[in-house]
Chain A
Amino acid sequence: MSRFNALDGTTSAARVAVVAAGMVSPLGFGLEETLVSLRRATDCVAPVTQFDVTNCRCKTAAQIPDQRLLAGGPNGRKSARLHRASHLMIRALEELVQEDPQFKPELTVIGTTSGGMSFGQDYYRALNRRRSLRHSPEWIANYPPQKPVLDAQEEFGISAPCFVIANACASGTNAIGHAFECVRSGKHKRILTGGYDALSELVFVGFDSLQAATPEKCRPFDRDRSGMVLGEGAAVLALEDLHAARDRGAKILAEIIGYGISTDNHHLTQPDPSGSGPRRAMSDAVKNARISPDNVDYINAHGTATFFNDAAEGKAIRELFQCVPVSSTKSMIGHSLGAAGAIEAVICLLALQSQFLPPNINFRAPDPDLALNIVANESREAKIDIVLSNSFGFGGTNASIVIGKAPP
């Protein structure tokens, strides 16, 4: 398929397979480590080490160890110039490429919220404090949000045009959803999709200033939830027309079957308490998948553990679904913003492959106003065929995707 879109082609509803995935998150490097950590219900949240948080209310985050992150990927001077986000993307894409070296994407659609933000901070701090600007060309060149994606593509000889979606915390799910629509429309055969974000001081302090971040444990959907913790990571998925994938003998890991997107105009940072935005995204995703809500066996919730977000999402889930098991894996790995939707999609993929429900840890007491079937504290074995993953963000962006088990 050419990158040249003549706008005169016919469209057809193709089925969309996930043929490979790669991920780095606080749960581990790669899908195998991630699966072990998920089953163990690992709490990856620890005191922040990347910058000073003395004056913040929240002092914890889920971080990826530098030593291990920087040990892989490109070597030498190039490696030192790259932003942490580029290293995250390179490690995630490395796994995908190893899994399916034949996968050659026509487009790349990746989500992020903050790009190379910490380089922007370094630059501004150096300007303001009249410190050395010797590194400023590197900071400036590696700051744009498309740069980590281009760095990762270049590392593995991929030259696909790059679409970077910045729909705040829904970016990763929006990227996967848009990539899914592009393949399903018949316009494209193969798209690389996913999301990334690295922890940065500006964003950390931002959430702290809003009092959205908690000084305590992250307890999504708990009666006593007090806020989110931040995380970081990257995840990528290779989406391919199912027939094309089968024709070349690719391994099918799962099938994306539905996508819903909505915009909630209530407030820039808070959801409509009625849950109408999340409800519409989920409802549209289920309709788009041509299934009934009863067919959904598990929901990986957005579940940030902020009072208003969990209340709106919980209300929408309760209204749409009958007692479906729900968990927020952010309880283990924090909220990785633009990467969250992609990481959670890969977690869903692992859940479908290994037939278990990932846990919602730190859960102590159910919220009587929500009455959800929470997968509390421990993972559960379960027969699951179809799962739904939610991401909601600032600006009122809501996105849901529906993922099915690999077709026989």
Chain B
Amino acid sequence: MSLSIAGMGWITPLGRGVDAVWQRLLGGEEATAQSISSAQNKKTYSGFLVPNEALKDLPPHPRLRRASSISRYAVAAGLDAIASARLGTLKLDMNRLALVFAASNGGVNYTKRFYHGIMESGAQSASPLLFPETVFNAPASHLAAILGINGASYTIVGDGAVGILAIKMASELLQNQSLDCCLIVAAEEADWVLCDAYRKWRLLKARPPIEPFNTPPRGTIFSEGAGALLLTRAGAVKIDAIHAGGNFSHQRNASEIVEWILHDLRDDNACIITSANGTFVDLAEAAAIAGQSPGSMVYSPKQALGESVGASALWQVIAAAQALINKRLPRMVRAPAHAGLRFPDGSNGEVDQNALVLSCGLNQQAAGLRLSI
């Protein structure tokens, strides 16, 4: 069975729209950090946030009246992917479309507010309006209601690799001939409590820039947004292979899994879109690439867009698809020469017909896939 990308949607701290974000990446732009403050512990964190204007034309659907940011990002990206597919010749029947929604931390903002209410005012004043929005599958439910999807809808959760696992799941769902296509949406929302947690976990740095493949790693910047892919059985950008990867019990073991994935997917002519984000992930990926595919051109969109965890792997796939369509990669502005890898510098970013996506998450999961055009 062939699997192809028929439509894409992208909501990022660099704005909304696949072509718009891609042009800004090609222009060497990086997201601007904003302060995320906590009233509770009086601390301030740096985060890459989605600009308000990115959501201004969302449809006025009743389901979005109280929806969380993560739901709004998911809906916006999903609708954009559907719209871009409809620009082509594809005719969509919502009865023959499945939805897979992926996230890592889910609706943290509402979950925190709900629990804060319990702590401050007692269980008797807990909000029945907030609680349903805290459930992991609330964004998928809103998107399904808006699009009129009444068949298969799955929400899967995991770390940064969850987007690749969502694509793998979609490939399994499309084995069923009663489905024509699968909409995959991955989203994440930023919140100070997440920044605090990732900071305590020693993964976040105080302020930009993100310096991929630097040694030692200095940390990443949390970001938010969503990505969406509409997958069908025929289309220009093909997903040739998906590797569901595996799990690493310690950060120091991540490179073994990543190397195994790269070994299985290897294509010497392919560029590699990595998940390098300024953390231990970079060391794992650099070691794997140096061992398996030292000549490949390496790019990470996270230097410009930040670490959006649950949304990040789909952002990488979108970047890979854009690189194949446009035949070039943006520059890796901050990649160090000592990393021993080949980085696009503006003069050497041409892309052939294949791209690999490596996704090593921050919490034990890694996966990858191969695209071609």
A contacts, CB < 8 Å to B: 2-9, 11, 53-56, 107, 112-113, 115, 120-121, 123-125, 127-130, 133, 136-137, 140-141, 144-147, 150, 153-154, 159-168, 174, 178, 181-182, 185, 187, 201-202, 205-211, 261-265, 268-269, 277, 280, 393-397
Interchain CB contact under 8 A, B123 and A205: yes
Interchain CB contact under 8 A, B246 and A161: yes
| CB-based nearest A residue for B265 | A4
Given A164-B156, A206-B126, CB of A268 within 8 Å of CB of B138 = yes
| CB-based nearest B residue for A149 | B247
CB within 8 A of B145: which of A7, A147, A207, A265? Answer: A265
The number of inter-chain residue pairs (CB within 8 angstroms) is 221
Given A127-B196, A181-B176, A265-B150, CB of A140 within 8 Å of CB of B201 = yes
Bound-complex Cα distance A269 to B129 (A): 10
| CB-based nearest B residue for A208 | B123
Interchain CB contact under 8 A, A3 and B246: yes
Number of chain B residues whose Cβ lies closer than 8 Å to a Cβ of chain A: 77
Bound-complex Cα distance A239 to B261 (A): 25
CB within 8 A of A208: which of B126, B171, B172, B201? Answer: B126
Distance in Å from the Cβ of A328 to the closest Cβ of chain B? 22
Bound-complex Cα distance A277 to B152 (A): 11
Please name 20 pairs of A and B residues whose Cβ atoms are closer than 8 Å in the assembled complex, sorted by A.
A5-B243, A7-B239, A113-B135, A128-B116, A141-B201, A145-B158, A150-B247, A161-B245, A163-B158, A165-B156, A166-B137, A166-B157, A168-B136, A178-B172, A181-B172, A181-B176, A264-B150, A394-B138, A395-B140, A395-B141
**Contact segment of B85-93, B291-299, B363-371:** B363-371
Interface majority SS (helix, strand, loop, mixed), chain B: mixed
Bound-complex Cα distance A130 to B43 (A): 13
B111: chain A residues at CB < 8 Å are: 120, 202
A263: chain B residues at CB < 8 Å are: 99, 141, 144, 149-153
B contacts, CB < 8 Å to A: 1-3, 40-41, 63, 99, 104, 106, 111-112, 114-116, 118-119, 122-124, 126-128, 131-138, 140-142, 144-145, 148-159, 165, 168-169, 171-173, 175-176, 193, 196-198, 200-201, 239-247, 249, 264-265, 363-365, 367
Bound-complex Cα distance A261 to B137 (A): 15
Distance in Å from the Cβ of B99 to the closest Cβ of chain A? 8
B198: chain A residues at CB < 8 Å are: 140
Distance in Å from the Cβ of A71 to the closest Cβ of chain B? 24
Known: A209-B123, A268-B63. 12 other contacts (CB 8 A): A3-B243, A7-B2, A7-B240, A8-B2, A124-B116, A128-B119, A133-B200, A147-B363, A163-B169, A181-B173, A181-B175, A265-B149
